[in-house]
Structure 1
Amino acid sequence: MGICPVCNGFEVVQTNCPSCGSELEESGRIMDYYDDYSPYMPIDQMKLEDGYPSDYEDGQCPHLYKCSKCGYDEVKFIQE
């Protein structure tokens, strides 16, 4: 298990919205949105159940990025 540089504040990933060009806002790990208890579950367990097979195998942390202007969102995989 690695350490996610975005979760731990070591790195900021800046990217622009492909729809309107505004900067996307980092909104946390995608699995934190699954249900009320997801943020409290072990990270590796959630990676096995999140539907992204490569995140556990390749040591990546899936983060949700959203555009506050047009509503576009995407998941970016951050290397741990």
Structure 2
Amino acid sequence: MELCPLCNGLETRIIQCPNCQRIMEDRGKITDYLDDYSAYMDIDIMKLFDGNANSLEEHKCIHYFYCPTCQHEETNAINE
């Protein structure tokens, strides 16, 4: 069984904003933002809706990163 090192607090990622060079905040899995209950759904099922067609097979967790300074948003695929 694979697990995301960011979701489980085993690692942190430092992502620098491409616009203002500030450190972006990891806001968690992108699927947690789909609706009010998506954070409580089965992770493997939610990977079917994360915008990456192969995230389930490739064991990727798609994380949402946000820059509070300039409001830049991006996603990054994290290896599980």
Same fold (TM over 0.5): yes
TM-score by length of 1: 0.95
Q: Deviations over 1:2-23 (max 9, x none)?
A: 1100000000000100001000
Letter in 2 for 1:34: L
Unaligned residue ranges in structure 2 (runs of 5+): none
Unaligned residue ranges in structure 1 (runs of 5+): none
Q: 1:17, 1:51 → 2: CA distance?
A: 21
1:52 CA displacement: 1.2
Q: 2:47, 2:64 → 1: CA distance?
A: 14
State whether residues 26 and 64 of structure 2, in contact with CA within 8 Å, keep that contact through their aligned partners in structure 1: yes
1:79 CA displacement: 0.2
**Superposition misfits of 4+ residues, deviation over 3 angstroms:** none
TM-score by length of 2: 0.95
